[in-house]
Chains A and B, each alone.
Chain A
Amino acid sequence: MSSQAISEPTVTTLEEMGKVPPTRSERSRIWRRFVRYRPGLVGLTVIGLLVILAIFAPLIAPYEPDAVDTSLRGASPSAEHWLGNDDIGRDILSRIIYGARIALIVGIGATAIAVTIGVTVGATAGYFGGRVDFMLSRLVDTLMSFPLLALLLTLSAVFGPSLRNVVVVIGLTVWASYARLVRAEVLSLRERDFILAARASGAGDRRIIFRHIVPNALGPVIVIASLAIGGIIILESALSFLGLGVSRPTASWGTMLSDGREFIRNYPHIAIAPGIAITITVLSFNLVGDGLRDALDPRQKE
């Protein structure tokens, strides 16, 4: 399932984008283009709301997310509990609100790890070339050949389920596509004039890579990352389904959905609420990604 959502962007047509370091006016032009794409704007708004929910969860949530009341097992939505209660009587709405935190932490955290590793490896391979490139490229090949969910399952089994481990494990498995992308970018940038100029002026390798090359390759990386966050949120729910998700009692949408499937006949609302939350969030990230892709495309006309 989710492997696809993540592998997808690797082979899109983004490589040509964002070649030039964005200047201030450039940025505002990108923003203007982005805004023009309504769905992207809607997505961004939803994500903004999610961030607010996540940050102010204790203020917004009507109940403690872990507070139990067994007499409310599977209670249907009511005036007191807008989304009803789960199988041990916790307030589903409150858990959805707190779950936004986990979704964002997992989605953004894992992506950040993946981007960091991927960009570093890709830039190093592309910049140095030769043997370094060969070794790193085989590593990337290996990782990309390894079925994603399979690798995740194996790693989760090793580390055991917890929020931190889920973030790290996902981050460690999905970086290969960034590495491949950045490597290609770097290969094409390496011989450009401004790099040659920087080298001539005595800048060290590290400085050239991180000051000059990486910022230029970031455009497509950002697009892919924003699309991948959604995929990772779904991946987390798949891990939960297989019993390897975020540990309890943490309110994670994936775990809530996975626990709710047991009661899909008797208390369907337990699974429906997190299902919708996941869908809306993933949708929003994808829309933003689409918008960014169009906005960063230099061939787009104003």
Chain B
Amino acid sequence: MLTYLIQRLLQGVIVIFLVSLLTFIVMQLAPGDPVRLLVGEAYVTPEQLDAIRDKWGLNDPWYIQYWTWITNLAQGDLGTSIIRQGVPISDMVREAAGMTLRLNILSFVIATCIAIPVGVTAAIKRYSWFDYGSMLGSTLGVAVPNYWIGLMAIVIFSVQLGWLPPYGADSLKGYILPVIVLAIEEMAALARLTRGATIEVMSQDFVTTARAKGLAPKLVIVRHVVRNALLPVITIIGYRIAFILSGTIVVETVFAWPGLGRLFYNSIQSHDFQVVQAIVILLTVIVVVMNILTDLTYAFIDPRVRVR
């Protein structure tokens, strides 16, 4: 068990290193010049531009830059953003991640509370109207681009009806639209998944046996089906949490949400590689940890799954 954990952790470290190297190389390949953006339209001679680039070490070859970056990282220093000086990158990322997490946890809780009962019910009443209706609804939820829903929601609820603000992460009302838009999509995906997993479990021998033994259908479902169906659902939740952080770029843009997705997008666009690196590393660490945790949870919930 312990060896397994250490092994997984080591693999995780390798993955993190590879991801950071990959990001760095890709960012080097991408054209762009943060210094030009920093200077804006001020009148600057090419020599002065070069002096600023020197100051930020941008004239060094990429492996030197990478080395500087990774040795700093080893000392816990994420570096300084060229575009956003003044605020330590760690603070910047932490704050943005907090905003994104808040948004996502809320929408995820709402989505889970609705999607799991719906998915289970749909599976039990397979090929019923409820099944068709809820699955059509959830397929639709996955199929509609979420920024479209978001913009429509702004037009209807902020402009036409005047009920909710078009943006504003500081008031409770400001949460409503982005949370719902995100939840619709989460809900849709989760409901479909739960249904599939439940159907799978229901057809398995032990359920049939339980039924044959004369257990009440409701009891069978609660005791055996739901519990087992949760396994793949938990797995996917693990994955989701990692994807969530980057998956909300679009919703964050629509609702002016000061989250991680937007910070990442802006940093890529402005070629602010220090920030890009920091976010990518954070996300990778989360994914790696989540994967390990998911495996452990899996083993915990289902004793039949033996962790090698």
Which positions in A face B, CB cutoff 8 Å? Answer: 1-5, 7-8, 10-13, 39, 138-139, 141-142, 144-150, 153-155, 157-158, 230-231, 234, 237-238, 241-242, 254, 257, 261, 264-265, 268, 271, 275, 278-283, 286-287, 290, 293, 299
Closest to A144 in B: B287
Q: A11-B232, A144-B287, A264-B152 are in contact. Are A4 and B243 (CB under 8 A)?
A: yes
B256 to chain A, nearest CB (A): 14
Contact digits for B255-293, partner A, Cβ 8 Å, 1 yes 0 no: 000000100110011000000100110011001100100
A-B pair count, CB < 8 Å, reads 170
Selecting from B22-30, B59-67, B299-307, the interface stretch reads B22-30
Cα–Cα distance between A200 and B136 once the two chains are bound (Å): 50
Q: Give which listed residue, B132, B250, B261, contacts A39 with CB less than 8 A.
A: B132
A contact patch SS:
helix
Q: A141-B11, A142-B18, A145-B287 are in contact. Are A279 and B143 (CB under 8 A)?
A: yes
Cα–Cα distance between A5 and B26 once the two chains are bound (Å): 25
Name the A residues within 8 Å of B146 (CB-CB): 1
Tell me whether A283 and B143 are in contact (CB under 8 A): yes
Tell me whether A283 and B265 are in contact (CB under 8 A): no
8 smallest beta-carbon distances between A and B, as pairs: A147-B246, A282-B143, A145-B287, A13-B200, A283-B143, A158-B30, A3-B243, A150-B246
Closest to B285 in A: A145
- Does B39 lie at the interface of the complex (its beta carbon under 8 Å from any beta carbon of A)? no
Q: A241-B147, A290-B135, A299-B203 are in contact. Are A147 and B197 (CB under 8 A)?
A: no
Tell me whether A146 and B19 are in contact (CB under 8 A): yes
Tell me whether B189 and A257 are in contact (CB under 8 A): no
- Does B196 lie at the interface of the complex (its beta carbon under 8 Å from any beta carbon of A)? yes
Q: 8 other contacts beyond A138-B18, A230-B143, A241-B253, with CB at 8 A cut-off?
A: A1-B145, A3-B243, A4-B142, A5-B142, A11-B236, A147-B247, A149-B246, A279-B140
Cα–Cα distance between A155 and B26 once the two chains are bound (Å): 7
Tell me whether A1 and B247 are in contact (CB under 8 A): yes
A sample of 22 inter-chain contacts (CB < 8 A) reads: A1-B250, A4-B185, A4-B247, A5-B142, A11-B235, A11-B239, A12-B197, A13-B197, A142-B15, A142-B18, A146-B280, A150-B264, A150-B279, A150-B280, A154-B27, A157-B30, A264-B155, A265-B159, A278-B145, A279-B140, A279-B145, A283-B140
Cα–Cα distance between A144 and B15 once the two chains are bound (Å): 10
Cα–Cα distance between A149 and B245 once the two chains are bound (Å): 10
Name the B residues within 8 Å of A283 (CB-CB): 139-140, 143
Closest to B287 in A: A145
Closest to A240 in B: B145
Cα–Cα distance between A7 and B31 once the two chains are bound (Å): 30
Closest to B246 in A: A147
Tell me whether A241 and B139 are in contact (CB under 8 A): no
Tell me whether A145 and B27 are in contact (CB under 8 A): no
Name the A residues within 8 Å of B251 (CB-CB): 1
- Does B225 lie at the interface of the complex (its beta carbon under 8 Å from any beta carbon of A)? no
- Does B249 lie at the interface of the complex (its beta carbon under 8 Å from any beta carbon of A)? yes
Cα–Cα distance between A148 and B261 once the two chains are bound (Å): 12
Cα–Cα distance between A2 and B288 once the two chains are bound (Å): 21
